[in-house]
Structure 1
């Protein structure tokens, strides 16, 4: 049984955004997306106990 299945999409998004950032495809929108993904994961984990 997977403990946090609703967080998986955020993890996949974060990985893809970080790949793009490391590949030099940075920009304001990309940085904002990374921050949103990180905050979403942190919020989800905080709300689970």
Structure 2
């Protein structure tokens, strides 16, 4: 799992291992900076 996340987040396996040792909650901006998400969607456009 660490290898997969590391590949997609642009981080090393060691960085991902340390990050996944304990529960961690990210604010949207933190998740983007860490590489877990591509963008933050504030609101969906109306259909």
Q: TM-score, normalised by structure 1?
A: 0.23
Compare the two structures and name the one with the higher helix fraction.
Answer: 1
Instruction: Tell me which of the two structures has the higher relative contact order, counting C-alpha pairs closer than 8 angstroms and 6 or more residues apart.
Output: 1
Q: TM-score, normalised by structure 2?
A: 0.24
